[in-house]
Structure 1
Amino acid sequence: ALQSVKTSKSLRRRKGKVLVTDGPFAETKEQLLGFVMVEAADLAEALKIAERIPLAELGTVEVRAIYDVPGS
């Protein structure tokens, strides 16, 4: 399961510059296009991976951790 949106970061890339903000948008008209699950050592590594997602140039990539379920 995904962790709370309070722990999320939103990433956008425009003209080669990356902007990371805390949390999701307060109010959004955007639509979910899909999702990508990656394994990363920490949030910094996950954000680096998110920078390379092509749609970060057109929209926003929300980065959220999942709960670690022991034994799974």
Structure 2
Amino acid sequence: SIQTIAKRLSRAPSTICREIRRNSGPEGYRASRVDQLVWDRAQRPKACKLVQHRMLANIVAGKLQLQWSPQQIAGW
């Protein structure tokens, strides 16, 4: 059952349901097919958020000039 799988993987049952729903095809859930889908979805290189969002980049640059640490900026 989904509850058993979730418990063995230390995940919430809703996470398991979502994974199955997202990756099931006409023949059901096939781990080998899902593995390839995951690799395809994670294609690199991805554009950096700071390249895509200039306003965010300017804010981050300003905080760096104020001597904020990367951890402080990420937490902000």
How would you bin the TM-score normalised by the shorter chain?
A: under 0.3
Q: Write 1 or 2 for the structure with the bigger share of strand.
A: 1
Task: Output the TM-score relative to the length of structure 1.
Answer: 0.23
* Structure number having the greater helix percentage: 2
When Rg is computed on C-alpha atoms for both structures, the one with the higher figure is: 2
